[in-house]
Amino acid sequence: MNYRHHFHAGNFADLVKHATLLALLDDMKRGGRKITLLDTHAGPGIYDLSGAQAVRSGEAAAGIGRLLEGPVDAALGPLVEAVMQVNRGAVTHYPGSPLLAAARLGRGDQLIACELHPEEAQGLTAALTRAAGRDGPRLDIRAADGFDAALQLPNAPDRATVVLIDPPYESGDDHDRVVATCADLMRRRPAPSVIIWAPIKDLETLDHMLRGLETAPGLRGTAIQTRLRPPLNPMKMNGCAIILLHVSLAVREAAIAAAEAVARQCGDANASVVVTKLGEEG
Ligand SMILES: C[S@@+](CC[C@H](N)C(=O)[O-])C[C@H]1O[C@@H](n2cnc3c(N)ncnc32)[C@H](O)[C@@H]1O
């Protein structure tokens, strides 16, 4: 467990992932049902952009930093607003997925956040408890394996269920565990909405995972690749993919628009967005 998201918080990949998460939660709230969100790999919740790790990597400066130079694309407006809300004045901190979700969810909603690293889990508990307040969602913060939590997630037909799967892909089996977890989730009725994040280094690793996901019966999904540059050097992070399962057309369109805006603002002259359908329908 060497991975620390502090190096990467607020980078181009977080922007696409978090803009998509907010679009999905806003869409679900319009549906009127109470929401249960499982964040399988939650991280510590809040990141100091002036900290040594963020400064050393320079990733936030090339991500959220670049967006804040403006003008902000409409597809990224809600995310930029949410980032401003955790800062007073100058943007010194970037909120992670559980904090962004907690601010969107309210009474009667539930946020289950798993973080396996003990130190990060401690930070997460403090940050999330502070952020959720009295009117926020019911919190269930676990220093536990997020894939296991997804497999144990009870069926709740009366609620809208969302699962965010955002592993570090540092251990060899993360890709396979994503596929196995989604196969299980897609057997549920109703099937939850799922957002999966994955890096793009070489294309075969991603394609292998997409082929695995497609074997789940009844799967209906979309893979949206944000390529900062053509993926020719597998030693580099060339982009990221957001894979959406069982989301509305509106959420899919919002995620594509966010990916296009990030490719334009953070990518090089050959940046592109590639959208593919998975399973029965897009
Ligand atoms: C990419 S970061 C999460 C970022 C967060 N989702 C966000 O968007 O702000 C991945 C996190 O997963 C944690 N982690 C690694 N393996 C895990 C596992 N099996 N279950 C839960 N957390 C895990 C790491 O410690 C790390 O903090």
Cis peptide before 190 (omega within 30 of 0): yes
pLDDT at 164: 99
% of residues, the chain, pLDDT over 90: 91
Ligand 1 atom index nearest CA of 14: 8
Mean pLDDT for 185-204 is: 94
pLDDT tens-digit profile of 269-278? 999 999 999 9
Ligand 1 atom index nearest CA of 5: 2
134 pLDDT tier (thresholds 50, 70, 90): confident
pLDDT tens-digit profile of 4-49? 999 999 999 999 999 999 999 999 999 999 999 999 999 999 999 9
- Beta carbon of 117 within 6 Å of any ligand 1 atom: yes
The Å distance, Cα 113 to ligand 1 centre, comes to 10
Mean pLDDT for 122-141 is: 94
Mean pLDDT for 82-99 is: 96
Q: Domains of the chain, with CATH numbers?
A: 5-279 (3.40.50.150)
Radius of gyration in angstroms for the set of CA atoms belonging to the chain, rounded to a whole number: 17
pLDDT at 281: 57
User: Best mutation site among 8, 41, 120 for ligand 1, i.e. most ligand atoms within 8 A of its Cβ?
Assistant: 41
Distance from C-alpha of 99 to C-alpha of 231, rounded to nearest angstrom: 32
- Beta carbon of 96 within 6 Å of any ligand 1 atom: yes
Distance from C-alpha of 150 to C-alpha of 127, rounded to nearest angstrom: 23
pLDDT tens-digit profile of 235-260? 999 999 999 999 999 999 999 999 99
280 pLDDT tier (thresholds 50, 70, 90): confident
- Beta carbon of 148 within 6 Å of any ligand 1 atom: no
Q: What strands lie across the sheet with 220-227, from one edge to the other?
A: 138-142, 110-114, 35-39, 160-165, 193-200, 239-245, 220-227, 272-279
| CA-closest residue to ligand 1 atom 6 | 42
Structure tokens at 205: 């690793």
pTM attached to this predicted model: 0.97
Residue 102 has pLDDT above 90, yes or no: yes
pLDDT tens-digit profile of 135-185? 999 999 999 999 999 999 998 999 999 999 999 999 889 999 999 999 999
The Å distance, Cα 143 to ligand 1 centre, comes to 11
| Whole-number average pLDDT of the chain | 96
- Beta carbon of 115 within 6 Å of any ligand 1 atom: yes
Ligand 1 atom index nearest CA of 9: 9
Ligand 1 atom index nearest CA of 18: 8
Q: Is the model more confident about 70 or about 176?
A: 176
Residue 64 has pLDDT above 70, yes or no: yes
| CA-closest residue to ligand 1 atom 27 | 43
Q: Is the model more confident about 281 or about 27?
A: 27
The Å distance, Cα 166 to ligand 1 centre, comes to 6
pLDDT at 282: 46
The enclosing H or E element of 245 equals: strand 239-245
| CA-closest residue to ligand 1 atom 12 | 41
- Beta carbon of 51 within 6 Å of any ligand 1 atom: no
**Helix 12-31 to helix 77-85 angle, to the nearest 10 degrees?**
100
